[in-house]
Structure 1
Amino acid sequence: MWARKTVAASLTAPIYAFLLACGVVILQPPVSGGSSDTVNGLLMLTAAYLAISFPAIVTYGVLTSVFSDWLARRMSKRFEPFVSFGLHIGFGMVLLWLSVGASVLYWIIDCYLTHKGRRFETTQAWSSLVIPVGVVVTAFGIVYLIGVIQDTMQRFYG
């Protein structure tokens, strides 16, 4: 169970960071800098939110999810998913709306992995931790490349 929960956290963190960054970028008025500034902002916010949220999701999220599922299994089989969902939301209320979204997404991904019946080994769980790190490195790399291309274009045509 711990391995599946760790994999779920590794998948939840980048998805949630991207969705949160999209929400911030979409709610702001358009910037005159063009689409490259929007892409840069989206990628930088995704990387920043991921760097902040991933440690919390992989520690607090996994621990409270294991506890929630343990407690839900003590209830009637018919109410187990509802109890688990309610406890995930309850533990997710630690930062109000900001963390509730992450806890709901985590619960959905974990239920999906459980429904698929996928068994994860400990090495797969440890390997899954590379996903958020890879997303951060890729986001910063793309922002850097956009900057290099903009500078090159400006030197040739500006």
Structure 2
Amino acid sequence: MSFAAKLNLMFSRKIAAAAISVSLFSILLAIVWPNPFGENIDLSSRIVQNFSALTVGYLIYSFPVIIIYGTITSLISDLISHIFQKHIGKNGEVIVSLVLHLFFGLILWWLSLFAAFLFFLTDRFLLVKDKRGWGFALQCLCLPILLWIILNLLLQMIS
């Protein structure tokens, strides 16, 4: 397989990993950080409404960043680690890739570091499961869009 074909498959896998990661990131962040502005609110009342609104908000802001910045930096991380694979072995390649993902994820400290780690784990899972190709990537891109639609419909029904 040519380098261009390998790069094309890797890029499609990165898009899929980004789409899955942004959905997981938004949901997990809404659970872990339910009060992003630090104001005193009663989280026990309207928990579904608060969770849905926060997830939609996190999804809107994180989607373009993770899709664009995360995909490009993940691609760079894997290409650099692949160059060193001959010298450090397969396990070393994974470690170098993880370190580079985390380095690029330091842009917004813990928030983006968490997203970078989640992206790395998702990408490695897809690599092991051999999930790639543009058809799969496009299906995965539907996940955050469907999540956004479902949560907005839920918010409309609750309001």
TM-score in same-fold range (> 0.5): yes
Superposition TM-score tier, normalisation by shorter sequence: 0.7 to 0.9
Instruction: Describe the superposition over 1:43-92 as per-residue Cα deviations: whole angstroms up to 9, x where unpaired.
Output: 10001100100111011100000100000011222310110000000000
What CA RMSD, in Å, does the superposition of the two structures yield over aligned residues? 1.9
- Report Cα offsets for 1:2-27 as digits up to 9, x if no partner: 11110000100011011111112289
Matching residue of 2:5 = none
Equivalent position amino acid for 1:25 in 2 = P
Q: Which amino acid aligns with 2:21?
A: T
4+ long deviations beyond 4 Å: 26-30
1:51 aligns with 2:51: no
**Counterpart check, 1:20 vs 2:29:** yes
Q: Are residues 32 and 91 of structure 1, via their aligned partners in 2, closer, same or farther at CA, if it must alter by over 3 Å?
A: closer
Does residue 114 of structure 2 align to residue 135 of structure 1?
Answer: no
What is the count of residue pairs matched by the alignment? 144
Contact 1:25 1:38 in 2 (8 A): no
Aligned counterpart, 1:153: none
CA contact (8 A) 1:12 1:109 kept: yes
Could you tell me the TM-score, scaled by structure 2's length? 0.84
* 1:67 maps to which of 60, 66, 76: 76
2:117 aligns with one of 101, 104, 118: 104
> 2: distance between equivalents of 1:32 and 1:15?
21
Aligned partners of 1:47 and 1:139 also within 8 Å? yes
Amino acid at match of 2:108: L
Gaps of 5+ in 1: 148-158
Distance 1:63 1:51 in 2: 19
Equivalent residues in 2 for 1:2-17, closer than 5 Å: 2-17=11-26
The alpha carbon displacement at 1:116 in A equals 1.3
Give the conservation status (yes or no) of the 8 Å contact 2:43–2:50.
Answer: no
Aligned to 1:126: 138
Unaligned runs of 5+ in 2: 1-9
Aligned twin of 1:88: 101
**CA–CA distance in structure 2, aligned partners of residues 9 and 138 of structure 1:** 20
Please state whether the residue corresponding to 1:129 is helix, strand or coil: helix
* TM-score normalised to structure 1 length: 0.84
